[in-house]
Amino acid sequence: MFLGAMIIGPAAAWVLKKIDAVLDPKVPVGFEMLISNFSLGITGLGMAMVGFKAIGPVVKSISTVLGNGIQSLVDNNLLPIASVIIEPAKVLFLNNAINHGVLGPLGVTQAKETGKSVLFMLETNPGPGLGVLLAFWLVGPRIVRGSVPGAIIIHFFGGIHEIYFPYILMKPRLILAAIAGGAAGVAMNVLLDNGLTATPSPGSIFAYMVVTPKGDTFKVLLAIAVSAAVAFAAAWFLLKTDSSNNDDLDSAKSRKDSLKNG
């Protein structure tokens, strides 16, 4: 119900804001805290009921459909295609909803049966982001190259994938590089029969190693390296052939924040 929480939380805050806007001008002096606490509790109870009776069943149905779609890709050996959805969703800050709301539960079920699951690796792979950042560092706009090394450390070792989103928002066509890298990584993981024992959270190389089954370390690192290399090659080509002047990292960060905050 991670996706449901992401929906009902902001919705409850918006409803409470509207209620407060109506009540505040009419509340007698000295009764502000009393009215505020009662409105908060009653609104919270009402939204909880809405979440339980309406949002919950809808989200469950959506999760079931998405889960069936992922399972169909697994059954037909088409799992790399999932990157076409996952990588753009990450930039739109739907990564947690997809990872913890859909892939995580499916991965847990699979891991109980086989001891590991490749589904834990679809969204959390740090390779595509690393490849894009490396390309930015070498052939990206000079004005932003100085910020890339720090972003690489935060992303790859810290597991904060959001750090590279502004770079893709600055050059939106680079989402193709992320998709290519993600698909290559998934293909390698399927080919090598890779899987993790749990979701690596955050998605750093250290978290990956913690949940990598014994004896699979080299194979997992190889898949990450391949995904990074493919993403780097694609991003390098796209940056080299890009003639736009959209080089403002600050404006890209502003777009990132607006997407994150809805």
Q: What is the pLDDT of residues 6-25, one digit of tens each?
A: 788 889 999 999 998 888 88
Summarize pLDDT for 96-126 with one digit per residue, the tens: 777 877 788 889 988 999 999 999 999 999 9
Q: How confident is the model at residue 252 (pLDDT cuts 50, 70, 90)?
A: low
The percent of residues in the chain predicted with pLDDT above 90, rounded, is 52
Dihedral pair phi/psi, residue 117, rounded to 5°: -150, 135
What's the CA gap between 88 and 215, in Å, rounded? 32
Average pLDDT across the chain, whole number: 87
The CA distances from residue 211 to 18, 47, 114, 197, in Å, are 45, 37, 14, 5
Summarize pLDDT for 128-166 with one digit per residue, the tens: 999 999 999 999 888 889 999 999 999 999 999 989 999
What pLDDT does residue 164 have? 92
Q: Taking Cα atoms as reference points, which of 218, 253, 70, 97 lies closest to residue 208?
A: 218
The answer to whether residue 198 scores a pLDDT higher than 60 is yes
Summarize pLDDT for 14-65 with one digit per residue, the tens: 999 999 888 888 888 888 888 888 888 999 999 999 988 988 888 778 777 7
Peptide bond into 28 cis (omega under 30): no
Reading the block at residue 21, the tokens are 């806007």
